[in-house]
Amino acid sequence: MHGTNPIREPVQGDGLTLDVQSIFSTLQGEGIYSGWPAIFIRLGGCNLACTFCDTEFESFKSTPLTDILNSVKKLSLNNDGKRIRNLVVITGGEPLRQPIEKLCAALLVKEFTVQIETNGTLYRELPEGVDIICSPKNNGAGYFPVRGDLLPRVNAFKFIISAGNDDYKNIADVGQGSAIPVYVQPMDEGNAHKNAANLKLTTNIANDNGYRLSLQIHKIAGLE
Ligand code: SF4
């Protein structure tokens, strides 16, 4: 959306309908489940508007939870009806903007591994067993603080790195301490020259600090 999206506030509700941008199967390209066959549930709307954001999440539709679960079930199966995708990634936009507790619980009951990708500024009491990946964002004056109630639930941090953007040249202490794994990932700026510089800087930061390099392998593979 490149910072053009409206800022959307968190919504309350019973979680029986959610604003869904898209549901699709792919390989998870980033972070702790990189390479896993996955089903992505991309939810609509975000409470931030980052200028580098290249994701469309504003043409969403209100979708019943039952329809979401049916879509996930279909996408989890191969042509022989065998379940081959066991990871569901709930992303956005900002997934914690919406009441996703029931969605997470229903997926866990069906024995999916459930991963949330959040910017760390919102909180919901999600069921135990949900993996939370926090990718902090910068407002120009520094990183938005990660919520104190979210922090103990974070399984990994993912920092985006850009050599040409002062806000994303370095990572900051947002409470990750030494116990939570930190991934660093080059920003995709849609420009080969900039992306090469971003990869070089990201690799250096990983090597110098003991962080883990995350590449968007779904893009390398030409997947959504
Ligand atoms: S928080 Fe994430 S989804 Fe929201 S605008 Fe920033 S990069 Fe895009």
222 has pLDDT over 90:
no
Structure tokens at 220: 């390398």
DSSP 95-151: GGGS--HHHHHHHHHTT-EEEEEE-SS----PPTT-EEEE---B-SSSBPPPPTTTG
CA of 54 to the centre of ligand 1 (A): 8
Mean pLDDT of 147-157: 96
CA distance 126 to 159: 23
CA distance 184 to 202: 6
Question: Do you know the residue count of the chain?
Answer: 224
38 strand-pairing partners: 26, 87
Check if 130 has its Cβ closer than 6 Å to any atom of ligand 1: no
Mean pLDDT taken over the chain: 95
Residue 216: pLDDT band with limits 50, 70, 90: confident
Mutate-to-test residue for ligand 1 from 53, 57, 98, 138, highest number of ligand atoms within 8 A of CB: 53
Mean pLDDT of 117-126: 97
Structure tokens at 120: 């760390």
Mean pLDDT of 110-125: 97
Reported pTM: 0.94
**How far does the chain reach from its first CA to its final CA, in angstroms?**
16
Per CATH, is 17-220 categorized as 3.40.50.2300? no
Domain boundaries, the chain: 17-220
Mutate-to-test residue for ligand 1 from 50, 60, 133, highest number of ligand atoms within 8 A of CB: 50
Q: Give the tens place of pLDDT for each residue, 21-64.
A: 999 999 999 888 999 999 999 999 999 999 989 899 999 999 99
Q: What does the pLDDT read at residue 153? A: 96
CA distance 184 to 171: 9
Check if 134 has its Cβ closer than 6 Å to any atom of ligand 1: no
The ligand 1 atom nearest the CA atom of 57: 3
Mean pLDDT of 7-31: 95
Q: What does the pLDDT read at residue 175? A: 87
Check if 121 has its Cβ closer than 6 Å to any atom of ligand 1: no
Check if 93 has its Cβ closer than 6 Å to any atom of ligand 1: yes
Q: What does the pLDDT read at residue 2? A: 85
Residue 95: pLDDT band with limits 50, 70, 90: very high
Mutate-to-test residue for ligand 1 from 2, 5, 47, 48, highest number of ligand atoms within 8 A of CB: 48
